[in-house]
Chain A
């Protein structure tokens, strides 16, 4: 009688642990996936904010450096690609292009002292530098979140539940490394 009771309790405890594990892993995967989605939209917000600043920048530059049409066209095109991109991942790639094009504009400003001294231009330069930092940090957090998710999916016993819920590893956000390597603009 007592033995039956003990066996019953042990079985109940094991079943309870298994049920808790099922719920825990299900919730964990959802939470981590939401975090990934959310951090991606954080990047998106910054990318859009950057695209919004571009027309203003072009207008300012035009006033001082009319002849540099090639570079300005590059920026305008990159912005168009970014705005037309269908998903965030495409936008991130286009954003990297835009960043490169913007870099050439700021390099070009070195030849136009008046432009360099323009207050509007300086402010835009600062703002764009700030946004660049934010994109870099948001991207880092996105990849950190992917790492955490992938660890959960791949490591025992999570991999068992990942299979069950058909959760697969996700890919990191890859962007040409040079962008991260650019020294942050000091101001």
Chain B
């Protein structure tokens, strides 16, 4: 007999884990900055750095404040109608009552594959979008399970969270890049540190962006588990989401056309990885479906 998992414990466990993952990314950033400061002289180099940080932050802020509009436009989704898509609306309204969140805007995107995503920087600007395939193939309880998962992304402020990690990862990359470039231009006299320190710095500058990227992917996978657990809190019916995931698993590999339909940057917000490669590893945005099903079975 496997020990029964309580969704409350799962939620808090996952939250703590993703918090630590963010700390790791920030530490990378600070460490890299520190090493650079040790090696290079602060000069024109820092001006460029500040400049590029400002650009990347304002770019991210723009996409953050328009997250839901960009998402809808990029998958070409249409607003659902409360009379025609009654089942979908009921499911969303039920989950909005169960979660205590305001009713999000509901969109439908054309795709034969079962999928759904949520976007919006906070619950007031939230949208939920499901595919036509999901509406056709899922039973009421399964659809509710999927919607509950998406509502959890909204409730957990995942758009905000993933934006934050994206910014941090971006900053680490910029910093590393600038450091490596600055080495070409600075003369030996400019440097305070010795040869060994520089080599260490170079190694770290190469590794840090990759490591930060991996950590952010780990965070993304962690958030998926959290959303599953929170979703169960809303429906109190783990088999709903589990059966939906089983149906998703049985679907074929996405066609080339389908792949084009999903913007890569949005992958973390979908309920299942729209690019769905068979290989699940440290480069995946989503945990393996099998693992998610297994956990839901134990709830």
**Chain A contact residues, CB within 8 Å of chain B:** 35, 39, 42, 130, 133-134, 137-138, 140-141, 144-145, 184, 186
Residues of B within 8 A of A140 (CB): 98, 236
Binds A, one of B37-45, B46-54, B89-97, B173-181: B89-97
Known A140-B236, A184-B140, A186-B140; contact A133-B94, beta-carbon cutoff 8 A: yes
Residues of A within 8 A of B56 (CB): none
Residue of B94, B97, B100, B236 with highest tally of chain A CB at under 10 A: B97
Number of interface residues of B (CB under 8 A): 13
> Total A-B pairs in contact (CB under 8 Å)?
28
Chain B residue with the shortest CB-CB distance to A142 = B100
Contact B97 A42 (CB under 8 A): yes
Residues of B within 8 A of A186 (CB): 140
Q: Can you report 11 residue pairs joining A to B where beta carbons are below 8 Å apart?
A: A35-B100, A42-B97, A130-B90, A134-B97, A137-B94, A137-B95, A138-B97, A141-B97, A141-B100, A144-B100, A184-B141
B204-237 contacts to A (CB < 8 Å)? 233-234, 236
CA distance A35 to B100 in the complex (A): 9
Contact B100 A145 (CB under 8 A): yes
Residues of B within 8 A of A39 (CB): 100
Chain B residue with the shortest CB-CB distance to A138 = B97
B112-147 contacts to A (CB < 8 Å)? 140-141
Q: Which secondary structure dominates where chain B touches chain A?
A: helix
CA distance A42 to B93 in the complex (A): 12
Chain B residue with the shortest CB-CB distance to A42 = B97
B111 within 8 A of A: no
B63 within 8 A of A: no
Q: How far is the CB of A34 from chain B (nearest CB, A)?
A: 11
Residues of A within 8 A of B99 (CB): 141
**Chain B contact residues, CB within 8 Å of chain A:** 90, 93-95, 97-100, 140-141, 233-234, 236
Chain B residue with the shortest CB-CB distance to A39 = B100
CA distance A116 to B103 in the complex (A): 33
CA distance A102 to B115 in the complex (A): 37
Q: Given contact pairs A137-B97, A137-B234, enumerate 16 new A-B contacts (beta carbons under 8 Å).
A: A35-B100, A133-B90, A133-B94, A134-B93, A134-B97, A137-B94, A137-B95, A138-B97, A138-B98, A140-B98, A140-B236, A141-B98, A144-B100, A184-B140, A184-B141, A186-B140
Residues of B within 8 A of A144 (CB): 100, 233
CA distance A133 to B96 in the complex (A): 12
Q: How far is the CB of B41 from chain A (nearest CB, A)?
A: 36
Contact A137 B90 (CB under 8 A): no
Residues of A within 8 A of B141 (CB): 184
Residues of A within 8 A of B93 (CB): 134
CA distance A35 to B97 in the complex (A): 12
Q: How far is the CB of A162 from chain B (nearest CB, A)?
A: 21
Residues of A within 8 A of B100 (CB): 35, 39, 141, 144-145
Contact A134 B94 (CB under 8 A): yes
Residues of A within 8 A of B97 (CB): 42, 134, 137-138, 141
Chain B residue with the shortest CB-CB distance to A126 = B86
CA distance A134 to B234 in the complex (A): 12
CA distance A140 to B234 in the complex (A): 8
Residues of B within 8 A of A137 (CB): 94-95, 97-98, 234
Residues of A within 8 A of B90 (CB): 130, 133
Residues of B within 8 A of A35 (CB): 100
CA distance A133 to B94 in the complex (A): 7
CA distance A71 to B233 in the complex (A): 37
Chain A residue with the shortest CB-CB distance to B141 = A184
Residues of A within 8 A of B236 (CB): 140
CA distance A144 to B8 in the complex (A): 11
Q: How far is the CB of A40 from chain B (nearest CB, A)?
A: 12
CA distance A20 to B134 in the complex (A): 48
CA distance A138 to B99 in the complex (A): 9
Q: Shortest 7 CB-CB distances between A and B: which pairs?
A: A137-B98, A137-B97, A138-B97, A137-B94, A141-B100, A133-B94, A141-B98
CA distance A137 to B233 in the complex (A): 11
CA distance A133 to B98 in the complex (A): 10
Residues of B within 8 A of A130 (CB): 90
Chain B residue with the shortest CB-CB distance to A184 = B140
CA distance A147 to B99 in the complex (A): 14
Q: How far is the CB of B146 from chain A (nearest CB, A)?
A: 16
Q: How far is the CB of A141 from chain B (nearest CB, A)?
A: 5
